[in-house]
Chain A
Amino acid sequence: MDTHDQYGARGTVLRLLAAAGAAALTLTVGLVTPLNPAPQQAEADGKKVLTVAVAQSVDSLSPFLAARLVSTSMHRLTYEYLTNYDPKDNHAVPGLATKWEPSADKLTWTYTIRDNSKWSDGKQATAEDAAWTFNTMMTDEGAATANGSFVANFKKVTAPSPTKLVIELKKPQATMAALDVPIVPKHVWEKVDDFSKFNNDKSFPVVGNGPFILTGYKADSYVRLKPNKSFWRGAPKFDELVFKYYKDGDAAVAALQKGEVSFVSGLTPAQAAALKGEADVTVNDAPGRRFYALATNPGARSKDGEKFGDGHASLLDQRVRQALFMAVDRRTVVDKVFQGHAEEGEGYIPPRFSTYYWQPTDGQKITYDPEKAAQLLKEAGYPKNGDGKLVGKNGKPVTYRVLCHATDPQDKAVGKYLQEWWGKLGIGVELDCRDNVSDPWLAGEYDLAFDGWSVNPDPDFVLSIHTCSALPATPKDIGATDNFICDKKFDELYAQQLAEYDPAKRAEIVKKMESRLYDTGYMNVMAYPNAVEAYRTDQIASITKMPEAAGNIYGQDGYWSWWSATPAAASESSDDSSQTGVIIGIVAGVVVLAGLGAFFAMRHRATAEDRE
Chain B
Amino acid sequence: MTAEATPPLVGKTDGRAPAGPSARGPRARTTAGYPRYVAGKLGGAAVSLLAVLVTSFFLFRLIPGDPVKFMTGGRQVSAEQLAAYRREFGLDLPTWEQFTDYCGKALTGDLGTSYQFRAPVIDKITEALPNTLLLTGTSFVLYTALGIFLGTRAAWRNGRLGDRLNTGLALTLYSIPSFWLGLLLIIVFAVGIGPIPGLFPTGGMESGDEQGFAYVLDVAHHLVLPVVTLVAVEYGQTLLVTRSALLDEMGSDYLTTARAKGLRDDLVRRRHAVPNALLPTMTLIFINLGRTVAGVILVETVFSWPGLGGLFYQALSVPDLPLVQGLFFVFAAAVIVMNTLADLIYPLLDPRVGR
Contacts and interface: CB of A to CB of B under 8 A. Distances in A.
A593 B104 CA distance: 58
B264 A610 contact: yes
Given A20-B145, A31-B221, A245 B204 contact: yes
B306 A36 contact: no
Interface string B65-90: 11001101111111101101000100
A591 interface: no
B217 A36 contact: yes
A60 B264 contact: no
Contacts of A579: 197
A542 interface: no
A64 B197 CA distance: 46
B166 interface: no
A38 B266 contact: no
Given A245-B304, A470-B76, A477-B79, A251 B203 contact: yes
B324 interface: no
B197 A436 contact: no
> Which residue of A39, A442, A476 has the most chain B CB atoms within 10 A of its CB atom?
A39
B10 interface: yes
Given A38-B198, A248-B302, A10 B267 contact: no
B58 interface: no
Interface in A24-69: 24-25, 27-28, 30-32, 35-36, 38-39, 44, 57, 59-60, 65
Given A220-B128, A242-B208, 16 more contacts: A10-B8, A13-B9, A24-B142, A32-B221, A38-B201, A57-B314, A65-B118, A197-B119, A199-B117, A216-B208, A222-B206, A224-B208, A250-B183, A257-B191, A438-B70, A476-B82
Interface in B91-123: 113, 116-119
Nearest to A482: B74
A612 B264 contact: yes
Contact of B266 (A27, A250, A251, A609): A609
A24 B218 CA distance: 15
Given A21-B146, A242-B208, A474-B79, A199 B119 contact: yes
B112 to A, nearest CB: 13
A438 B146 CA distance: 48
16 contacts: A3-B267, A10-B275, A14-B270, A21-B146, A28-B223, A28-B224, A44-B207, A149-B75, A221-B205, A247-B302, A248-B303, A438-B65, A439-B66, A480-B74, A580-B198, A580-B199
A219 interface: yes
A583 B76 CA distance: 60
A361 interface: no
Contacts of A254: 183, 186-187, 190-191, 202
Contacts of B11: 8-10
A60 B124 CA distance: 13
Interface string A422-439: 000000000000111011
A484 interface: no
A587 interface: yes
A478 B69 contact: yes
Nearest to B270: A14
Contact of A20 (B127, B141, B317): B141
A149 B289 CA distance: 49
A475 to B, nearest CB: 10
Nearest to B314: A57
Interface string B177-193: 00100010011001110
> Which residue of B9, B311, B319 has the most chain A CB atoms within 10 A of its CB atom?
B9
B251 interface: no
> Which residue of B69, B76, B192 has the most chain A CB atoms within 10 A of its CB atom?
B76
Contact of A222 (B117, B179, B208): B208
A3 B271 contact: yes
B34 interface: no
A311 B30 CA distance: 72
What 3 pairs between A and B have smallest CB-CB spacing?
Answer: A21-B145, A9-B11, A480-B76
Nearest to B13: A9
> Which residue of A216, A219, A478 has the most chain B CB atoms within 10 A of its CB atom?
A478
